[in-house]
Amino acid sequence: MTTATSNGGPVKRLRLPLIAALALAFVSLALISGIAYIVVLAGATNTAEKLLVDKAERIIEAQIGTIHSRLDPVTQHLEMIAALAANGRLDINSPVDMREALWVMMTQVPAISSAGFATFDLKLDRVFRRPDGEVVRDSVSLIDLPRGTFWGALFWSDVQKQPVLNVRTPIRRIDDAFIGGVLATVAVGDLSYLIGEAGRSGGGSGRYFILVGKDKVLAHRRLVDPRGLGLTEERELPTIKEVDDPVLAAIWNPPVRNAQFERALGDYGHVVDAEGRRWVFVYRELRRYGPEPWLVGQYFPLEDATSDLARLTNGAIVGGATLAVAALLALLIGLSMARSIRTITSAAEAIERLEFDEPFHRSSRLREIDDAGHSLDKARGALKWFGAYVPHRLVFRLMELGEDAVRSRRRNVTVMFSDIVEFTPQAEDLPEQQTAELLNHHFALLGACIEREHGVIDKYIGDAVMAVWGGLSRMEDHADHAVRAAVAIAQVIREDNAQRRAAGQAPIRVRIGLHSGPVIVGNIGAPGRVNFTVVGDTVNIAQRFEQLGKEFMSADDEVVVLASGSTLGAVRDRPALGLGPIEPVLRQVKGHDDPVEVYRLA
């Protein structure tokens, strides 16, 4: 297809087949969707990493915050009592007053399992809580305390039958004279309980732990009540394999190697396989509450951290599958539409070729296409009759040139007339149907020869045929084609007569006349009923040459072909036509004063 540019030159426009356009559209859709899908999954992966990091940070910060909230008040209250004593606002010489102050501190800070005041004579006035909840006040001896508040080493408490943490604060006057010290302890059972209680109130699952070193357990849900673990002064803490927690026992197993986990967790922790599942351990080292650092952490199933990713991934998968199904359905529908439209296109192309024999329509579930097919089939039926009445070459010429093809003009042509000898008496003895069949068969034989030589049947006149060469378009060798067609018709008539005689039928005898000359070509007739034809003296002479055949045709002749001197003079290649020397005969033709040359070709 072309369009005109501003300077009048044609520009070719790209045209794609419908199937190719649909395929291109679907491939583009699939490509865009695939890119979007990859971007979504990449975003989901980044989101999962962020979720994992955020959860790890939140868990470990909450755990550290819980420890601080439970243990820092112990330090603060000890320093407060030490300050009161140093300023003389608390009588350090009264064991009763000191024990009462310590008792008040214990009630204010639940983490404290025992507290004491060391006097100048190295006596310790203390208050402690027994495992059964009874609060005891007594005095024991104590070694010298160093400067500053500090958390001492873990030691065994015979009273509580479990290890305890201890924090110590010396009391010194303004002149730095040592006058005593305050001591508080936190049992590991109380520490485990308080941390676990904070985890439960915050939505935790109790999967917390505090390790001393690699395998000693300082805080764990099993240590809330450490009885049954066999702890003693020599064996103060259980190992990770002794707290009845198979997941914690696997903390130092070889980690699961995964770039996503390693990148997301970094120094926060790692992932291990345990109990048929994957677990995320998050932890942080804490240095503050004793001579040895603590490893504070929690663990949780990997799916807890990746549940959002799973939902997002599942959504992306469902979306991708839905998109694939939709694209497949659209492709199938598109292919069906393309086939239907291709059928209509093929029908239009067949109509353009004036081929009307086969029906075009194929039923379609698409209403518009189905209606178009029905309409095209009706048009085919109408055009089939149109094609029967109008020469195909004329139709092709009209499609090629439009109205310019039928504009009247003068042109040199060759006209042929043919007629069946004595057809009327012969037809009177035949039924109507046989008469029509005879004529149709005869015209089919002649029409094939004329069409093969690019002639146009102008009209049928009873049993006569008028054909023209060079009328629709300029044809320099129109006479050659007309002579060749006439000779071929003569041969075909003889062959057909041989078959008729074999069938016991009478032969058909035909006269043919040819004449070449100028004519007027164009639409001739009333505005509502025109006929594209040729008119002029050339047409008349051609008909009279056919009539002259009566003088040349003997009783034994089946065909006679007469051509005028004008036709033989217009032939461009006589040897190719097989025409030898032919002597003309002069005959008088109606409408002409002078006799004309007549040549018999067959």
Specify the DSSP element, H or E, that contains 341. helix 302-352
- pLDDT given at position 144: 41
What residues pair up with 387 in beta bridges, in sequence order? none
Whether residue 281 contacts residue 297, with contact meaning beta carbons closer than 8 Å, is answered with yes
Higher pLDDT: 518 or 39? It is 518
Per residue in 284-343, pLDDT (tens digit) is 898 888 888 999 988 888 877 666 656 666 666 776 677 677 777 767 776 777 676 777
CA gap 284, 294 in Å, rounded: 8
Tokens 């025109």 belong to: 530
| CA distances from residue 7 to 1, 4, 14, 105, 178 in whole angstroms, order as listed | 18, 8, 20, 102, 110
What are the domain boundaries of the chain? 13-343, 354-389, 391-600
Structure tokens of 468?
């023209």
Question: Does residue 355 carry a pLDDT above 80?
Answer: no
Which stretch of DSSP H or E encloses residue 48?
helix 18-86
Q: Containing H/E element for 468?
A: strand 464-469
The residue with greater pLDDT, 5 or 451, is 451
Q: Is 530 helix (H, G, I), strand (E, B) or coil?
A: strand
213-222, 228-237, 265-274, 441-450: the lowest-pLDDT one: 265-274
Q: Classify strands 269-274 and 529-535 as parallel, antiparallel or unpaired.
A: unpaired
The continuous run of DSSP H or E covering 457 comes out as strand 456-461
Specify the 3-state DSSP secondary structure of 477.
coil
> CB of 283 within 8 A of CB of 270?
no
Q: Which DSSP letter does residue 509 get? A: -
| Least confident range of 376-390, 460-474, 574-588 | 376-390
Over residues 546-551, mean pLDDT: 93
Average pLDDT of the residues in 535-539: 92
pLDDT at 6: 46
Q: Kind of pairing, strands 123-129 and 135-141?
A: antiparallel
Whether 230 contacts 243, CB under 8 Å: no
Q: Which residue has the higher pLDDT, 180 or 510?
A: 510
Dihedral sign from CA coordinates of 81, 87, 90, 94: positive
The more confidently predicted of residues 38 and 282 is 282
Q: Which residue has the higher pLDDT, 174 or 561?
A: 561
Angle at 108 (CA atoms; ends 106, 109), nearest 5 degrees: 65
Q: 372 CB contacts (<8 Å, ≥6 apart)? A: 344
Tokens 């009247």 correspond to: 408
Which range (28-42, 67-81, 430-444, 476-490) has the least confidence? 28-42
What are the φ and ψ backbone dihedral angles of 466, each rounded to 5 degrees? -115, 125
Residue 415, number of CB atoms within 10 A of its CB: 32
CATH numeric code, 13-343: 3.30.450.20
Q: What angle do CA 326, 331, 334 make, to 5 degrees?
A: 120
Per-residue confidence band for 143, with pLDDT thresholds at 50, 70 and 90: very low
Q: The domain 391-600: what is its CATH number?
A: 3.30.70.1230
Distance of alpha carbon 346 from alpha carbon 164, whole angstroms: 96
Q: Cβ distance 16 to 24 under 8 Å? A: yes
